């Protein structure tokens, strides 16, 4: 996909930010590095696109910070309150085309151009988000079967009972027709609603890269620490080493193929802590699981997603998260009552096949050969061998020692290589 127009929303008041006297955009992460450095770098990667800055509070400081760009880019002053209103007015001044909309208080450190180029040309909107440790405290999308976006939940709303919550990150791709139709309110929520109303597609890209907002002192401090200790750079790099963890018998006890929920207590605290530590080091961690119960007809795909959301919430309690969840719904042999015939096939994703790992590698730019697989069976081991990754055979236990140790050892080896 090609980007024609870029809109940067830099008019936020910053009443909650660390220093309300400067724009959030110009907050320092370290000496000589501020939030704007990352955004300006992204803009440089799209030289053929036209850029519009939507400014409000602190507009003088923002203009000073963007320097030469203030002469060549389009500058619009936020006259009406509300980001959606401003964006609509700004979009009315430009030509038709695909639009990239970014919130200026977000630290955007990811190969955005490479990711956008891989997106199929299509109508509608695409939201970048992540499975975070606090998805339900943020505006989030609900992801249902077939990776479809089923709803937009703003942080003030009660959270939904089913589906996976993908926290929005402040990076959206849409088109100028949709932007020109926005009503009053929040820009991302309006973009979602108007895309649905117009019958166009809503898609989500789950990003394991570095996309963090810096709108509160705590968040700014955390991002600043991650910049200084190198974990931001590790997470933002193009070819990364990752951890692939199996679900049943590894992260949670094996309770057979028809499991529909996960209890908090099933993930040992030591394992949550180990996952939190790799999260903080910027090492992606993916869950990869065979779920033949879907093909056999004893559970549905959405019940599997519910178990993932249970895992996300259990880990979130301790400040940890899984970057993405992959499952194989297939099973090769028939003979089960109520089975789903279409899924009763030999596939290339059921471990020990490597399909889920290759998908993760392609979605998240992972170097499989320098990655690590943790699992409790020969199927996990076979998949690790197929992708040339290190393997750790473990068994779930209430203390979580083996799993935590495997994660920590791998993290140590990644740090040593850097």
Per CB under 5 A, residues contacting Mg ion are: 246, 248-249, 376
User: From the list 350, 374, 376, 387, which residue makes contact with Zn ion (rule: CB under 5 A)?
Assistant: 350
Task: Please identify, using beta-carbon distances, which residue of 315 and 328 lies nearer to Zn ion.
Answer: 328
Structure tokens at 379: 């199927």
Q: Which does 330 bind (CB under 5 to 8 A by kind): Mg ion, Zn ion, none?
A: Zn ion
Q: Which does 82 bind (CB under 5 to 8 A by kind): Mg ion, Zn ion, none?
A: none
CB neighbours of 219 closer than 8 A, spacing ≥ 6? 212, 213
204 part of the interface to Zn ion, by CB under 5 A = no
Q: Which does 376 bind (CB under 5 to 8 A by kind): Mg ion, Zn ion, none?
A: Mg ion
Task: Give the contact letters, 327-346, x = binds to Zn ion (CB under 5 A), - = no.
Answer: -x-x----------------
State the nearest-atom distance from the C-beta of 349 to Zn ion, in Å. Answer: 3
Just list the catalytic residues: 246, 248
65 part of the interface to Zn ion, by CB under 5 A = no
Q: Which does 78 bind (CB under 5 to 8 A by kind): Mg ion, Zn ion, none?
A: none
Task: Please identify, using beta-carbon distances, which residue of 109 and 288 lies nearer to Mg ion.
Answer: 288
Task: Please identify, using beta-carbon distances, which residue of 155 and 358 lies nearer to Zn ion.
Answer: 358
Residue with tokens 């992959």: 326
Task: Please identify, using beta-carbon distances, which residue of 269 and 346 lies nearer to Zn ion.
Answer: 346
Task: Please identify, using beta-carbon distances, which residue of 63 and 326 lies nearer to Zn ion.
Answer: 326
State the nearest-atom distance from the C-beta of 85 to Mg ion, in Å. Answer: 51
State the nearest-atom distance from the C-beta of 121 to Mg ion, in Å. Answer: 39
Q: Which does 349 bind (CB under 5 to 8 A by kind): Zn ion, Mg ion, none?
A: Zn ion
Task: Give the contact letters, 282-321, x = binds to Zn ion (CB under 5 A), - = no.
Answer: ----------------------------------------
382 phi/psi in degrees, rounded to 5: -65, -40
State the nearest-atom distance from the C-beta of 326 to Zn ion, in Å. Answer: 10
Task: Please identify, using beta-carbon distances, which residue of 35 and 267 lies nearer to Mg ion.
Answer: 267
State the nearest-atom distance from the C-beta of 201 to Mg ion, in Å. Answer: 35
State the nearest-atom distance from the C-beta of 329 to Mg ion, in Å. Answer: 16
347 part of the interface to Zn ion, by CB under 5 A = yes
Contact residues for Zn ion (CB under 5 A)?
Answer: 328, 330, 347, 349-350
């Amino acid at each position: 996909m090609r980007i024609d127009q870029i809109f940067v929303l830099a008019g936020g008041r910053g009443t909650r930010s660390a220093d309300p006297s400067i724009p959030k955009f110009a907050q320092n992460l370290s000496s000589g590095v501020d939030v704007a450095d990352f955004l300006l770098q992204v803009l440089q990667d799209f030289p053929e696109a036209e850029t519009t800055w939507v400014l409000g509070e602190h507009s003088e400081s923002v203009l000073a910070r963007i320097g030469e760009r203030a002469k060549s880019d389009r500058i619009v002053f936020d006259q009406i309150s509300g980001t959606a209103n401003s964006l609509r007015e700004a979009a009315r001044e430009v030509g038709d085309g695909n639009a990239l909309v970014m919130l200026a208080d977000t630290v955007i450190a990811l190969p955005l151009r490479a990711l956008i180029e891989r997106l199929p040309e299509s109508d509608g909107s695409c939201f970048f988000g992540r499975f975070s440790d606090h998805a339900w405290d943020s505006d989030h999308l609900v992801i249902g079967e077939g990776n479809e976006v089923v709803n937009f939940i703003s942080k003030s709303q009660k959270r939904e009972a089913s589906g996976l919550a993908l926290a929005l990150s402040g990076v959206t791709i849409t088109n100028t027709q949709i932007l020109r139709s926005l009503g009053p309110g929040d820009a991302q929520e309006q973009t979602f609603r108007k895309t649905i109303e117009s019958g166009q597609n809503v898609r989500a890209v789950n990003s394991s890269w570095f996309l963090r907002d810096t709108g509160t002192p705590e968040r700014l401090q955390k991002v600043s620490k991650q910049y200084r200790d190198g974990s931001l750079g590790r997470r933002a790099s193009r070819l990364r080493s990752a951890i692939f963890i199996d679900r049943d018998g590894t992260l949670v006890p094996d309770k057979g193929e028809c499991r529909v929920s996960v209890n908090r207590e099933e993930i040992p605290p030591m394992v949550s802590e180990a996952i939190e530590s790799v999260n903080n080091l910027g090492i992606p961690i993916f869950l990869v699981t065979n779920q033949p119960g879907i093909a056999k007809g004893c559970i549905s795909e959405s019940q599997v997603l519910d178990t993932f959301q249970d895992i996300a919430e259990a880990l979130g309690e301790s400040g940890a998260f899984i970057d993405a969840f992959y499952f194989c719904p297939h099973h090769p042999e028939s003979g089960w009552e109520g089975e789903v015939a279409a899924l009763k096939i030999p596939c290339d994703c059921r471990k020990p096949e490597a399909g889920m790992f290759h998908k993760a590698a392609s979605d998240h730019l992972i170097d499989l050969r320098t990655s690590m697989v943790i699992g409790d069976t020969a199927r996990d081991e076979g998949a690790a061998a197929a992708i040339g990754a290190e393997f750790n055979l473990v068994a779930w236990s209430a203390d979580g020692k083996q799993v935590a140790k495997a994660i920590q050892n791998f993290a140590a080896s990644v740090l040593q290589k850097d």
